Structure 1
């Protein structure tokens, strides 16, 4: 069984360390890289409607004026300031970008990072975001599927033709292509419904669940592995990245040691990477290096 060995940090909220300036996130990534962290991840919202009370995962964690920085732009800046750490999103709301543009953006980022992209793709949850972007809310699952198929096609063929219900083209040429052999690994942030399990097994390389409970994750990951086998794919190649659920002390302060102690159970469930938010556990950038080293050590010990 594949177990946790890799760790990621989420970049959410780190502008709070720098009086609202997000540009120093490049140095944050560099520090994480030097401490052995495997991946950085950033969350996506193009715009935000006011109906945050409809967030399906509990209270929405950010105010309406929270600055959601565009992920591919941020990751490109980080690529230029680092050498090893991998670049991801949790998740990029793919249907809000045209399919051929998404393919070009991801391929360019992979070239500029020398093959360090493992992109997380999903659908988001807010209809208003789609409407403001001029993209239909209905049919978003089909749009996502076709986007991924278009990316894989353009990363491997020229001229390329595609005729789907949301995108069509004939004999187009798209360069550059990703540096990584076989294209960029695509991880889906989708609920583990029967249909989504099929989508991930057919088109994806990994899963980014919202679920954090090991006892439930184990069953979902088992279904995904079986779906991989049914398609002739090696289930050991399935990547699963889970955000650690923070543990808090009675006085409300975060307990890093207790939080990291949950990693072995996630490893036994089949999780291959855990993600933690420095914003929760660090008072500021002065705590980052020690935090990252503890996170890396906990991940490696669970392997």
Structure 2
């Protein structure tokens, strides 16, 4: 079982101190979250509420790849990924460059977890089409893999055309791509095109249901026996039994924040003693 910590809603400056603590304690990695801005005039409804998002406009959302680069520099084994990065809001080559650079600086300790996004204003601010973000995201998965191969690379698809070029540095090893979202479309995208899936926070029965749906799609396309990451958060008190049951149904990683307030060291060390050492 892998154990990941999120970074959402934490003070940006605190992350530089938290990452080494997680590294020393034996955690698997950290997930960054992604929002570019909070527009004063926000017309796009937040999907989970149908209204405004549940965080205030001044909430800090540090850039994912600047953050990952900084955290990689103060750790030695901790891995980094996203929950999730909205690739379709950015130009393809920019995403390829950012991830490849982070993978190189971290000596391969990077995965890319993608989402299609919900805020139209962010896409329009960056000059990207919001309405076709789903199929563009799917194409980007394959285009990114092509652009990360090293040497002369190119891509020709329905939405993106990249002439032959070198884009260096390229990742030292293949970068795993995971997909977020728990709609049928998102789960199928993960099952067919990705190396894994990243979910939200679920009660046990809901977690079982979404994992079963995901496994059904993987079986339908003939990928049921291939290695595949399934990472989510469980809305239950941490326990050895909980995580062992999660592992039994195919969950490979859980997201957790083992602290209260700013008492990071105490919470991380206790979680490592009570859970990590036994699971």
TM-score bin (small chain):
0.7 to 0.9
**Please, which of 23, 26, 35 is the counterpart of residue 33 of structure 1?**
23
Q: Distance in 2 between matches of 1:170 and 1:140?
A: 22
Gaps of 5+ in 2: none
Aligned-CA RMSD value: 2.4
- Using a 3 Å threshold, how does the CA distance of structure 1 residues 55 and 299 change in structure 2: closer, same or farther? farther
Q: Distance in 2 between matches of 1:52 and 1:299?
A: 43
1:272-291 aligned within 5 A: 272-277=252-257, 281-284=259-262, 287-291=263-267
> SS at 1:136's partner residue?
coil
Give the structure-1-normalised TM-score: 0.81
The equivalent of 2:181 in structure 1 is 190
- Using a 3 Å threshold, how does the CA distance of structure 1 residues 52 and 288 change in structure 2: closer, same or farther? farther
Q: Distance in 1 between matches of 2:167 and 2:143?
A: 11
- Using a 3 Å threshold, how does the CA distance of structure 1 residues 234 and 107 change in structure 2: closer, same or farther? farther
Moved more, 217-226 or 35-44: 217-226
Deviations 1:63-108 (A, max 9, x none): 0111211010000000111110001111111112211121111111
Q: Distance in 2 between matches of 1:60 and 1:262?
A: 30
| Pairing 1:202–2:182 present | no
1:207-286 aligned within 5 A: 207-210=197-200, 212-233=202-223, 235=225, 237-245=227-235, 258-260=237-239, 262-277=242-257, 281-284=259-262
- Using a 3 Å threshold, how does the CA distance of structure 1 residues 295 and 121 change in structure 2: closer, same or farther? farther
**Please, which of 110, 124, 137 is the counterpart of residue 131 of structure 1?**
124
Q: How many residue pairs align between the two structures?
A: 274
The equivalent of 1:151 in structure 2 is 144
Give the structure-2-normalised TM-score: 0.87
Moved more, 74-83 or 197-206: 197-206
> SS at 1:83's partner residue?
coil
* Contact 1:52/1:60 (8 A) holds in 2: no
Deviations 1:40-68 (A, max 9, x none): 11110011234488222237331011121
- Using a 3 Å threshold, how does the CA distance of structure 1 residues 268 and 299 change in structure 2: closer, same or farther? farther
Gaps of 5+ in 1: 16-21, 248-257
- Using a 3 Å threshold, how does the CA distance of structure 1 residues 294 and 118 change in structure 2: closer, same or farther? farther
| Pairing 1:11–2:2 present | no
